[in-house]
Amino acid sequence: MERAIWQAANMSIRSKLFKFFAGKAPRVRGFTRHFYFGHPFLDAWFAWFPLNQIEYGGAAVGEIFSAAERIDESKAAASWIAEWSKEADRVKQQAEQLLESHHPVSAAHSFLRAYTYYRTAHLATDPGDFEAEMRASYSELSYCFQRFIALSGKPIERIEVPFKTSGADSGFNMYGYFLRSALHQPGEPAPTLLWLNGAESIAEDVYWWCGAEAIERGYNVFVVDNPGDTATRIYNDRLLNEGAGDDTLYSQVDYLLRRPEVDTDKVFAYGISMGGYRAGRLGQIDNRLTGIVANAPMLDASKVLDTVRQVYKAPKDAQGWGKRMCWQHRVDYRQGMKAALQELVDGVWGKYVVEPEAIKTPFLVMAGENELGGEGIRQAQEFYERLGSDYKTKRIVTEHECGEAHCQLNNFPLARQIVFDWIEDLSNRA
């Protein structure tokens, strides 16, 4: 017993020392502040998930720090995955017990928090060292979110969207959600927001990025996992993204405009991170939308993300992120990380280009002032200058506003405010 106590105390000292020295390392690009962890990757993940999930009941302060205190930063991803999974398991078990005791509302709240903790664990997984954990955490988070929907009565529908290639049905579906406006009757047409995932996002994330607030404001929200997203590769290994990804964008708009709940004169798109690229590309190839928000837009994704090719030089936990990016896009990382990352950046993302002069749809260019380094903010600025839209707005969010990070990962409420206010101003203008 004494030895166990001594070991625990000793680990605590080692962890504190690691936190101190790791805290001297540069932050993940786009972040200027520490939140809790010394390890830059863990600290950025901590801000994204679970801190942003506290709003709308997705996390509890006590549960967050109970898990965070147990994480050994020197073990990075392994400890992160283990401790957030433990917390998720505990809260999920609580939810199941509440349901058995005939407390469905309380159970719904617990399932939503369990979702967040599984999602937080899932962030650090990869198909190399943590494939089993990657698949298990995705299965659990999906289950918990479905239970939340069923028990809470939220107007959220699980959907399947046919994926078309060159206008023909591929036989595959993209999975996602349709969130209905709380201010409209079922089937009544309402303004609708198409949300476009980032490279590390999954469809369920939409609830915090804009979904919960949108339905309160009287908007529908539509989202699917795209080919090239983590979730899609997990549940359909054969659903592929070709070239610039135009097929998935056309497929989504085609489906959306056929739904009776959608006011086809008020359809907006909002894309974050890689979804910022997708939002710009959608504006270039399809003029059926009413307005588009890109947070942040890209002219050439390969140039914005050029430093990714250097991930093979990074510590092992950062290489895990690189493996997952390669795996999502069917690039074989086992050929050697250096070659794989070059193929990802040049071969896949090199096709992700946008010509903003061709965009005529009203457009909001949005970015944090530290947006993915100098090239990210430079491209956002140039994108705005080259936009062909008659109605265009640029909004660079500053450190003074506490929203300077990539896609305002440090200030979700501010990001939502900017997006919805712009959409409302655009609607009133018409």
Q: What is the CATH number of the domain that holds 275?
A: 3.40.50.1820
Based on the fold, state whether residues 138 and 249 are members of the same structural domain.
no
The answer to whether the beta carbons of residues 312 and 277 sit under 8 Å apart is no
Percent of the chain exceeding pLDDT 90 equals 82
pLDDT for residue 269? 98
Position with higher pLDDT, 63 vs 239: 63
- Position with higher pLDDT, 75 vs 66: 66
pLDDT at 5 over 80: no
* DSSP letter assigned to residue 23: T
- Binned at pLDDT 50, 70 and 90, residue 39 comes out as confident
Same domain as 144, residue 162: no
Task: Give me the pLDDT at residue 30, please.
Answer: 63
Q: Which of 400, 390, 397 is nearest to 421 (CA)?
A: 397
CA-to-CA dists, residue 380 to 181, 291, 300, 372, 377, angstroms: 31, 17, 10, 11, 5
Same domain, 164 and 111: no
Domains in the chain, number: 2
What the block records as the tokens of 386 is 């080259």
Domain end (from 149, 168, 199): 149
Last residue of a domain, one of 126, 149, 172: 149
Same domain, 257 and 124: no
Residue 358 included in any domain? yes
The upper half-sphere exposure of residue 369, i.e. CA atoms within 13 Å in the direction of its Cβ, equals 10
Q: What is the mean pLDDT of residues 109-131?
A: 97
Whether residue 126 lies inside any domain: the answer is yes
Q: Global pTM?
A: 0.93
The amino acid at 305: L
Residue 30 carries which DSSP code? T
Contact (Cβ atoms closer than 8 angstroms) between residue 346 and residue 301: no
Residue 57 and residue 166 in one domain: no
Please check whether residue 345 lies inside any domain of the structure: no
Q: What is the phi/psi pair of residue 25, to 5°?
A: -75, 155
Instruction: Provide the 3-class DSSP secondary structure of residue 12.
Output: helix
Q: Domain end: 149, 173, 201, which one?
A: 149
Cβ–Cβ < 8 Å for 411, 48: no
Pairing mode, strands 168-179 and 156-165: antiparallel
Residue 345 and residue 304 in contact, taking contact as beta carbons nearer than 8 Å: no
Phi then psi for residue 382, to 5 deg, are: -65, -40
Mean pLDDT, range 25-33, rounded to an integer: 62
The residue segments making up the domain with residue 261 are: 157-300+352-429
**Shared domain check, 279 and 145:** no
Taking the CA atoms of 329, 332, 338 and 342 in sequence, report the sign of the dihedral they define.
negative
